[in-house]
Amino acid sequence: AQSVTQPDIHITVSEGASLELRCNYSYGATPYLFWYVQSPGQGLQLLLKYFSGDTLVQGIKGFEAEFKRSQSSFNLRKPSVHWSDAAEYFCAVRRRTGTASKLTFGTGTRLQVTL
Amino acid sequence: EAGVAQSPRYKIIEKRQSVAFWCNPISGHATLYWYQQILGQGPKLLIQFQNNGVVDDSQLPKDRFSAERLKGVDSTLKIQPAKLEDSAVYLCASSFGGSTTDTQYFGPGTRLTVL
């Protein structure tokens, strides 16, 4: 069975500081990995995705993530956080199950940005 | 390009009542998904449609939940009768296809409160 773990429920950083959100996955085959962001009252927006190739993936809004197979991790990073980045961040893994393609989410990390 | 539309945005009902949610996917997207997001958790897939056929409903509580996508475009999710534990945000998403590499685009969700 596949699972996604986001160990940090809540993180607070100062505006301008760097950010790293952790994500660990459990899946036997090559995973398809995603990071989504959810602002209050909004749906989920895709930040970036990893399917294969270069293990450092660039996304929107200045975010990047690095896939590390040896550590089963896909951590999200941003060098300088803006106040508008305050939101909930979800890591997700996707695999095919028969004719379906299931996306499994972690429990999320809520990011608070102080000015 | 218009995104995924959902209505209503908010709904409050009493337990044992029925409720229905509507979703209109992005034009041309063959695959439609319904997710349930309970407070403090990541979204959980309830049902996946490919055109007007169901490809995965393994996590849909079929004794009370039903969903349809009759013409392969918009979809309705119904709960009858509702229970307290159904309080959640119901997210609709769509993708062009149903493969593991297809990006899912999410609507803003319907927040359901069951009293």
- Give the tens place of pLDDT for each residue, A70-104: 999 999 999 999 999 999 999 999 877 666 678 89
pLDDT at A99: 65
pLDDT class for B94, splitting at 50, 70, 90?
Answer: very high
CB contact at 8 A, B113 and B8: no
- DSSP annotation of A66 reads E
pLDDT in tens, A34-54: 999 999 878 899 999 998 888
Look at residue B73 and tell me whether its pLDDT is greater than 80. yes
| Cβ-based neighbours of B35, under 8 Å, separated by 6 or more | B43, B44, B45, B46, B90, B91, B92, B93
Of A4, A99, A103, the CB nearest to B55: A99
Q: Which chain A residues are Cβ-neighbours of B44 within 8 angstroms?
A: 105
CA distance B80 to A23: 36
B13 touches chain A (CB under 8 A): no
Q: Which helix (H) or strand (E) holds A94?
A: strand A87-97
* CA A10 from centroid of its chain's CA atoms: 14
Put simply, whether B45 touches A (Cβ < 8 Å) is yes
Does the pLDDT at position B43 exceed 70? yes
Given the structure tokens 């349930």, which residue do they identify?
B36
Chain B positions touching A50 (Cβ under 8 A) are none
Residue of A nearest to B99 (CA): A101
**Residue A30 confidence (pLDDT) above 90:** no
Q: Quick check: A101 and B107 CB within 8 A?
A: no
